[in-house]
Chains A and B, each alone.
Chain A
Amino acid sequence: MSASHDVVIVGAGGAGLRAAIAVTETDPHLSVAVVSKVYPMRSHTVSAEGGAAGAIRADDSLDEHAYDTISGGDWLCDQDAVEAFVAEAPRELLRLEHWGCPWSREPDGHVAVRAFGGMQKKRTWFAADKTGFHLLHTLFQTSLKYPNITRYDEWYATRLLVDDGRVCGVVAIELMSGMIETITGRSVVIATGGGGRVFPFTTNAAIKTGDGMALAYRAGAPLKDMEFVQYHPTGLPFTGILITEAARSEGGWLLNKDGYRYLQDYDLGKPEPGPVLRSMELGPRDRLSQAFVHEAEKRRTIDSPYGPVVHLDLRHLGEKIIDAKLPMVRELCREYERIDPVHELVPVRPVVHYMMGGIHTDVDGATGLPGLYAAGETACVSINGANRLGSNSLPECLVFGARAGRAAARYAADAAPPSPAVEAQGDDERRRLDDDLLHRGGGSDRISTIRRQMQAVLEDAAGIYRDGDSLTKATDKLRELKERAATATIDDTSHRFNTERVAGLELTGMLELAECIVHSALRREESRGAHQRTDFVERDDKRFLAHSLAHRENDGSPRISHLPVTITRWPPGKRVYGR
């Protein structure tokens, strides 16, 4: 049995839902399938807090937003894509406002903007500190208006269907029943988010396992810049729950164990009582996380049961501002740390948050495979380069979700429907999955054991600072884990809502991503943005002003090559903050 549509979208978060709406607005006659392993309101877009950047103030300009993004990305951003992005971001955010998004306002009724890390002007739109939540719910509720969007909620896509070199749908498991079906389309958009769960300590939800990246990778689309993993400077210890950058843009300070604002020692400016754009606590995330590592080495961090932490001080903001601008931060601290930030210091430490890398696409979301598009965190256009600025990710989902949706719609309108031969691929996949479930070969590992070991490898070799030795060892260890994962025991061989089976499939995808991260990091012999090598400490524009591309070889391992960055108007320069 199979379902057929015109455009199939995998993932129902910010980018996926925006793409679905874009397809249907481009051509209301196209039938759109939105396939998501969770209900759309559960997508990880929901936990974004701080805001979405769009240059709208009279004293701001698109060029400044572009420069901030490009310098923030340590010049690894494709500047043509950045120019398109900054131009469309304000319109997309306005479109969300027209759809009902409750953006916070100035007293005169206009949309309010605030400062954010690495930005020289105030341009971050926000909905209190629950921007992602409001954005996602607005998109989801708006999508309910369109009768030709069909949702496949809690369907897990396991494989892309490829017909004559063209991507034309997915094979997916309906979680509720365990049935495996093909959902065909004339084009496919992948918007499944990043894969932070390959690391042990992350802000990311359980569902962020990079499934879509693995789908594209296995079908032959390369993954780009996988070694660039962002550590957000302020996550709660143990849970890894995100404390938004907005806490710092409203004026919060980062203090070491002596109560000292240590960022001033790391070329990030001089401490002022209030927040200063592009300075100190409003510097870019990679530099702040790196500063933490140095403080820890100097033993100036505070010891906690979960390792070294520093303190986020919000006390001087006062209860009124915290309740107005940072209510969720207060809620989270009280719930999960039993601490009230109005009166007490909040323990925080860098935590894996975002993947700059992903499926290689052009500025319209097109991958190298005909019929396959990608958008959002799962894609790498690249507008974020070596380090993403806070509040660029939500507009990225909207701008490129819309572009990919429109491009996929145009492709589908002209393409022929997939041939009946894809049914055979569906049958093959069903056989493979059933085989995998029932005849695993009785290894001694549990899925959770392998997952933990993979996470430990990544934490050790691909953390904030890396070196060639650890990375090389990691490649071997990951190869071994891949073999063991194939035979790991699964207690649950039933069909209906078998989440252990899904965990096993997610793990195989994560191991592929982990390999791409480690191999790409090993081959990039320089330090740039979020990728810092202790054995190659300088940025090397001669050799590495280029993206890393990881193609999957037949034996499953990644082959790394490099692709030059597109430079238009901003020649590579130095990243300067605080001066």
Chain B
Amino acid sequence: MISPLEARYYRQRMPLLWWTRRRSYATFMLRELSSVFVALFVVELLLLVRAVADGPAAYEGFLDAMANPAVIVVNVVALAFVLLHAVTFANLTPRAMVVRIRGRRVPPRAILAGVYLGWLVVTAFLAWLVVG
């Protein structure tokens, strides 16, 4: 009974640039895009590891490549995106996790504070490893 009528439905197509319509959609796309830059950092890390494994000459070559102004610019942009990725990911945590301690629900702010604190601790430890 339905099919012949469906042909008369009006179906609005989603435009290719659907994500430009709302700010929240655009922010979402940026967030998704940031994964690419996370991947970029992972690739650079792998290249670093390979350079170290290949010996001092390869390592120096790697550092020179990284010192190239264009590469620095790309990495600064990538850092911004990775920070965006980390912050948006962290902010989503309380929505996804409902934590209960002794029957009472831990408020979202506390969970968020916990996440950022954890991030700070890990960063401090890595900084100490690298610098100290």
* Chain A positions 151 through 191: 1 when the CB is less than 8 Å from some CB of chain B, otherwise 0: 00000000000000000000000101101000000000000
The complex places the Cα of A176 from the Cα of B8 at a distance, in Å, of 11
Q: CA separation between A177 and B3, bound complex, in Å?
A: 11
In the bound complex, how far is the Cα of B1 from the Cα of A179, in angstroms? 9
Bound-complex Cα distance A496 to B7 (A): 13
In whole angstroms, how far apart are the Cα atoms of A496 and B2 in the complex? Answer: 12
The residues of A that contact B8 with a CB separation of less than 8 Å are 496
Complex alpha-carbon distance, A176 and B1, angstroms: 10
CB A480 to nearest CB in B, in angstroms, measures: 40
Interface size on B, residues (CB 8 A): 4
What secondary structure prevails in chain A residues at the interface with B?
A: loop
Residues in A whose Cβ lies below 8 Å from that of B5: 176-177, 496
The contact size tier of chain A is under 10
State how many angstroms separate the Cβ of B10 from the closest Cβ of chain A: 11
Mask for B1-26, Cβ within 8 A of A = 1, else 0?
Answer: 11001001000000000000000000
Chain B nearest CB, measured from A2 CB (Å): 12
A130 → B minimal CB distance (Å) = 22
In the assembled complex, the CB of B68 is this many whole angstroms from the nearest CB of chain A, namely 60
Smallest CB gap from A1: residue in B:
B1
CB distance from B114 to the nearest CB of A (A): 28
Residues on A with beta carbons closer than 8 Å to the beta carbon of B1 = 174, 177, 179
Residues in A neighbouring B2, C-beta threshold 8 A = 176-177
Closest CB in chain A relative to B3 CB, distance in Å: 11
Q: Which residues of B contact A177 (CB under 8 A)?
A: 1-2, 5
Q: How far is the CA of A177 from the CA of B7 in the complex (A)?
A: 12
Rounded to whole angstroms, the CA-CA distance of A496 and B5 in the bound complex is 9
Q: Find chain B residues with CB under 8 A from A174 CB.
A: 1
Which residues of chain B are within 8 angstroms of A179 by Cβ–Cβ distance?
Answer: 1
Q: What is the minimal beta-carbon distance from A412 to any residue of chain B, in angstroms?
A: 25
Bound-state Cα–Cα, A179 to B5, Å: 11
How far does the Cβ of A505 sit from chain B's closest Cβ, in whole Å?
21
Which residues of B sit under 8 angstroms from A176, Cβ to Cβ? 2, 5
**A311–chain B nearest beta-carbon distance, Å:** 37
In whole angstroms, what is the CA distance A179 to B8 when docked?
15
Give the distance to chain B from A179, nearest Cβ to Cβ, in Å: 7
B113 CB, nearest partner CB in chain A, Å: 26
Q: A125-168 CB contact bits vs B (8 Å, 1 = yes)?
A: 00000000000000000000000000000000000000000000
Given the complex of chains A and B, what is the CA–CA distance between A176 and B9 in angstroms? 11
| Complex CA distance for A297 and B14, rounded to whole angstroms | 60
* Chain B residues numbered 102-119 whose CB sits less than 8 Å from any CB in chain A: none
CA distance A496 to B1 in the complex (A): 13
What are 9 A-B interface contacts by the 8 Å CB criterion? A174-B1, A176-B2, A176-B5, A177-B1, A177-B2, A177-B5, A179-B1, A496-B5, A496-B8
Q: Which positions in B face A, CB cutoff 8 Å?
A: 1-2, 5, 8
Among all A-B residue pairs, the 7 with the closest Cβ atoms: A177-B5, A176-B5, A177-B1, A179-B1, A496-B5, A496-B8, A174-B1
Q: A174-B1, A179-B1 are known contacts; what are 7 more A-B pairs with Cβ within 8 Å?
A: A176-B2, A176-B5, A177-B1, A177-B2, A177-B5, A496-B5, A496-B8
